[in-house]
Amino acid sequence: MKKAAGRRRMVVILYGKGGVGKTTVSSHLAAQYARDGRKVLLLGCDPKTDTSTRFLDGKKPPTMLDLVEGRLARRFSELLTRTPAGVDVMETGGPEPGVGCGGRGVATLCQFLEEHPRELSSYDAVVFDVLGDLVCGGFVAPLRFGKGNCVFIVSSEEPASLFAANNIARMTRRPYYDAASVGGVIFNLRRNDAPREHLVAFARRLRVGIVGALERDRTVMEAEERGMTALAYAPRSPAAKQFAEIAAAVERACLAKKAVKASPMTNDEFWAFVRRHRIASL
């Protein structure tokens, strides 16, 4: 697929607490943008190498670790995997548990992309699926290397997830990540009856928008069990509609001319916020 003519290029980076659903969101965004006719590159920045599972029927793609350890040359095409859904994917891979640093793989991937500007520029939608709570500087490499001008935070309604979201907002305020703009928060709910006023208050306190709130849907789990996105498994389902709406909202926020700088809380302010709004873990 050729790059869509006349479309502005999007670089979307998704961060959030481990297990909150970043990979589910990022893979569905990539799938929707491919369905919309964009040329899409999905970058899995997680040692689990699971970002591409919904596109490759459970097969393991080559990883940045394969390249670093000499099993691949430094050719863009060798690390790239083209999928039937029209989404091109790359995975960082990662070291064995207890050995090495997972963040180093992310930094190495960003360096690799810097070395291949022509290939990278052919994409008009680049989606980063990035692990974790940002305690490791390697995981913020997509920003430090100038890749990420639009950060989206994936969070549930639980305190630990909101704490991570606040930390991500704090990260984007650092001077050396000045190019980063916060596109908003995508809430991936643990409970569909979660009090929405808490979510609104949290986003308002950070001075960022709410991109949307994804409700739990059995269709998404059934699709995942089959190694598919909900868009491919049940394209007319409410779940597919939810993801299409989130993708459109992300695109609007990412392509907006005005950069949004978050106003995060200190740790003490955050826990005071949690107590004031009586937010509890499930």
Tell me which amino acid residue 171 is.
M
User: Within a domain: residue 2?
Assistant: no
Q: Tokens for 193?
A: 């009856």
Between CA 40 and CA 210 the distance in angstroms is 24
| pLDDT value of residue 133 | 62
User: Within a domain: residue 64?
Assistant: yes
Mean pLDDT: which of 5-19, 161-175, 204-218 is highest? Answer: 204-218
pLDDT tens-digit readout, 143-196: 765 555 689 999 999 999 999 999 999 888 876 666 678 899 999 999 999 999
Strand partners, 11: 126
Residues taking part in catalysis:
17, 22, 48, 133
User: Within a domain: residue 123?
Assistant: yes
Output the domain CATH number for residue 91.
Answer: 3.40.50.300
Q: Which positions ≥6 away from 227 have C-beta within 8 Å?
A: 53, 54, 56, 57, 58
Torsion, Cα 82 83 87 91, to 10 degrees, reads -70
CA angle, 148 then 149 then 150, to 5° = 95
pTM: 0.92
User: Within a domain: residue 5?
Assistant: no
| Residue ranges making up the domain that contains 125 | 10-277
CA angle, 266 then 128 then 64, to 5° = 115
Q: 256 pLDDT exceeds 90?
A: no
User: Within a domain: residue 3?
Assistant: no
Q: Tokens for 179?
A: 């190019």
User: Within a domain: residue 4?
Assistant: no
Give the torsion sign (CA, 92, 93, 99, 102): positive
Between CA 268 and CA 272 the distance in angstroms is 6
| pLDDT value of residue 1 | 46
Q: What is the mean pLDDT of residues 38-45?
A: 95
pLDDT tens-digit readout, 45-58: 888 888 999 999 87
Domain count, the chain: 1
> Using CB atoms within 10 A of its CB, is residue 10 exposed (0-12), middle (13-18) or buried (19+)?
buried
| pLDDT value of residue 132 | 67
User: Within a domain: residue 107?
Assistant: yes
Strand partners, 153: 15, 185
